[in-house]
Homo-oligomer: A and B are copies of this chain.
Amino acid sequence: MSPPEKKAKTGGYKLYYWGGIPGRGEYIRLAFEYAGESYSEMNAANKLIPTITNPAKVGFPPHFAPPVLELPSGRFISQTPAILNYLAPRYKLAGEKGSRVLEKDLSDEEREEAEEERAIVNQLTLTALDLCNEAHDVHHPIASSKYYEDQKEAALARAEDFRKLRIPKFLKHFQSVLASNPATEAGTKTYLVGKQTTTADLTLFHVVDGLLFAFPKRLGALQKSGDYEDVFALYERVKSEKGIKEYIASGRRQAFSMGLFRHYEELDAE
């Protein structure tokens, strides 16, 4: 946990991630954009990996992969869900109770409730990120180190299973969470936890956005079925949320292309 001396007073958040793609860095960006928090991006492509894996540059511990976030304290953390879980209570993105974990003077019962709600937000964020990971593995089922074209046959087989079984299974889960949220009223079930935006909402929004890009035919058919109405309503709600709306309008948000979510005509179908 001891960063090198020169990093001790950097101030502000710095996101170390690849430039040019939304990627996993986007989940972190969305939290900052929603919160109106300023952050800078460090994306020098050829220096990214040598930097984040080197304890002499990032302090202890070195990191496995980007995104890596440099904190105002000068310390660094990585792993998308760990970063989101760290940031969430700072921006009231860990639920009404869950965001209280940073407060002093909570009773034992209040602290327990706060810890539990923060864990629930973490859980739902992790499940949305699992769907993102599976969407990536569809076009790279054999190895990240190989071209898509060299694993296309396996990708076609995996895409069929992903479209038919996996996407509906995940959407059904999130629909069930939204529909059973006791804090929201019937007809406006667009919050995964309580009645305020959490990192789980932001993450699910981006995953649905990525799936709409990568599998437009399949997502179109699923949307038309009407079985996942609240999931698509959440997507529309987050899109026009304060902070997110301005971010999208700014043109700063990277377009999907050849990152985690990829559109290959042959991998999509209704």
Contact = CB atoms under 8 A, between A and B. Distances in A.
A123 B69 CA distance: 12
Given A97-B1, A176-B53, A116 B75 contact: yes
A5 interface: no
B143 A61 contact: no
A234 interface: no
A79 B127 contact: yes
Interface string A192-221: 111000000000000000000000000000
What number of copies of this chain does the assembly contain? Answer: 2
A115 interface: yes
A130 B120 CA distance: 20
Interface in A65-100: 71, 73, 75, 77-79, 81-83, 85-86, 97
Contacts of A119: 77, 82-83, 85-86
Given A85-B119, A157-B154, A73 B141 contact: no
Interface residues of A, number: 63
B126 A142 contact: no
Given A82-B126, A86-B116, A141-B158, 6 more contacts: A62-B176, A77-B120, A79-B123, A85-B119, A141-B154, A143-B161
Interface of A: 1-2, 53, 55, 60-64, 71, 73, 75, 77-79, 81-83, 85-86, 97, 101-102, 104-106, 111-113, 115-117, 119-120, 122-124, 126-127, 130, 133, 137, 141-143, 145-146, 151, 154, 157-158, 161, 165, 170, 173, 176-177, 180-182, 192-194
Contacts of A194: 1
B1 A123 contact: no
18 contacts: A1-B193, A53-B176, A55-B176, A61-B124, A61-B192, A62-B177, A64-B130, A73-B116, A77-B119, A79-B126, A81-B126, A82-B119, A82-B126, A83-B119, A86-B119, A102-B115, A141-B141, A142-B158
B62 A173 contact: yes
B2 A182 contact: yes
A122 B82 contact: yes
Contact of A180 (B55, B130, B145): B55
A84 B91 CA distance: 23
A104 B102 contact: no
B180 A123 contact: no
A140 to B, nearest CB: 10
